[in-house]
């Protein structure tokens, strides 16, 4: 079993829809949770980070963490074609250098 | 904000030659840099972790004699793919941590290596 599981998609939705992206994990030691966005042939860029259960909102993006279920989500409201990218979840442990990444979900927002 | 510059963005080389990829932190000191490999439609695979002034730590299955990593300064790390073969063709990405909290990782823009 992988430490972090993420549905690779692809996921295709119409413009304006609410998008839900999810990851599950098996290691209860994970303390930090991040979402990265990666455009084609570019490096990932950090979108959101959280370190506690609950919701964190930033503009159209909401990151949700449920440590009891070992489940994290990223919601995108009012999705735009420019949101089309691969979204990767990542997790880490305080004091450890490495992040563990999910496989990434390819998202396409259709105009 | 923190910026990591990675060069070249794209390189094509002949089989058997070596290729060097540079990763520079432009506005912060990167005590730790990470090198990843990414195949099409797949996630990032960590190859090695390098700390300034010390030998890199390679992940299981990564040949350290083939993928040479040097982190000689707090702003520069290099990955050299030696005796490249077509199966080494991939997207290589570096990321840097500036000694801050875990979310202080910044990624470079990646290098697409094609070995012909």
Instruction: Give B103's pLDDT tier (boundaries 50, 70, 90).
Output: low
pLDDT category of residue B100 using cuts at 50, 70 and 90: low
Kindly report, residue by residue over B2-20, the tens digit of the pLDDT. Answer: 789 999 999 999 999 999 9
Q: Which two tokens stand for residue A111?
A: 């105009």
Q: What pLDDT, on a 0 to 100 scale, did the predictor assign at position B40? A: 82
Q: How confident is the model at residue B110 (pLDDT cuts 50, 70, 90)?
A: very high
A96 versus B93: which is more confidently predicted?
B93
Q: What's the Cα-to-Cα distance from B95 to each of A107, B16, B32, B60, B89, rounded to whole Å?
A: 23, 27, 9, 19, 19
Find the CB nearest B105 among A8, A99, A102: A99
Percent of chain A with pLDDT over 70: 100
Considering only CB atoms, A44 lies closest to which of B46, B49, B107, namely B107
Distance CA A14, CA A10 (A): 14
Give the list of residues 6+ apart from residue B77 with CB closer than 8 angstroms, or none: B22, B23, B30, B33, B35, B50, B69, B70, B71, B94, B96
Distance of alpha carbon B29 from the chain centroid? 16
Tell me the β-bridge partners of A5.
Answer: A24
More reliable by pLDDT, B80 or A98: B80
| pLDDT interval class at B98 (50, 70, 90) | low
- Residue pLDDT, tens place only, A14-44: 999 999 999 999 999 999 899 999 998 899 9
Give pLDDT, residue A109: 97
Would you state the pLDDT for residue B33? 92
* pLDDT tops 60 at residue A6: yes
Instruction: Report DSSP state, residue A42.
Output: S
pLDDT of B102 over the 60 cut: no
* B97, B107, B112: residue with CB nearest A41: B112
**Stated length of chain B:** 116
C-alpha distance from B99 to closest chain A C-alpha (Å): 10
What φ, ψ does residue A5 adopt, rounded to 5°? -115, 135
CA B21 vs CA A38, B50, B76: distances in Å: 20, 14, 11
Query: Could you tell me the two tokens for A66?
Result: 């449920």
Q: Is the pLDDT of residue A72 over 70?
A: yes
Q: What is the per-residue pLDDT across B55-83, written as a single tens digit (0 to 9) for each?
A: 899 999 999 999 999 988 889 999 999 99
Mutation pick from A8, A37, A41, A44 vs chain B, by most beta carbons of B within 10 Å, is A44
Residue with tokens 């691969």: A86
Region B39-47 average pLDDT? 86
pLDDT for A18: 97
For residue A9, what are the contacts with CB-CB under 8 A and spacing of at least 6?
A105, A106, A107
- Let me know: does A100 contact A3? Beta carbons within 8 Å: yes
DSSP annotation of B16: T
Give CA angle at A47 (A41, A53), nearest 5°. 135
Is the pLDDT assigned to residue A89 strictly greater than 90? yes
What pLDDT is attached to residue A111? 94
CA-to-CA dists, residue B44 to A88, B28, B40, B85, angstroms: 9, 24, 10, 20
């Amino acid at each position: 079993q992988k430490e972090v599981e993420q549905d690779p998609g692809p996921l295709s939705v119409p413009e304006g829809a609410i998008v839900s992206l999810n990851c599950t994990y098996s290691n209860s030691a994970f303390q930090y949770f991040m979402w990265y966005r990666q455009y084609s042939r570019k490096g990932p860029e950090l979108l959101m980070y959280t370190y506690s259960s609950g919701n964190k909102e930033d503009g159209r993006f909401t990151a949700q963490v449920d440590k009891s279920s070992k489940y994290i989500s990223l919601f995108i409201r009012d999705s735009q074609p420019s949101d089309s990218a691969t979204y990767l979840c990542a997790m880490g442990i305080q004091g450890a250098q490495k992040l563990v990444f999910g496989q990434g979900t390819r998202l396409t927002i259709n105009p | 904000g923190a910026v990591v510059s990675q060069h070249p963005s794209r390189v094509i080389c002949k089989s058997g030659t070596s290729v060097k990829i540079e990763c520079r932190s432009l506005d912060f000191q990167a005590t730790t840099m990470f090198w990843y490999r990414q195949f099409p439609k797949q996630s990032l695979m960590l190859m090695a972790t390098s700390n300034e002034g010390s030998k890199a730590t390679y992940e299981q299955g990564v040949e350290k004699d083939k993928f040479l990593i040097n982190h000689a300064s707090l702003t520069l790390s290099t990955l050299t793919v030696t005796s490249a073969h077509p199966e080494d063709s991939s997207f290589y990405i570096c990321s840097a941590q500036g000694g801050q909290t875990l979310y202080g990782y910044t990624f470079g823009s990646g290098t697409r290596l094609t070995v012909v």
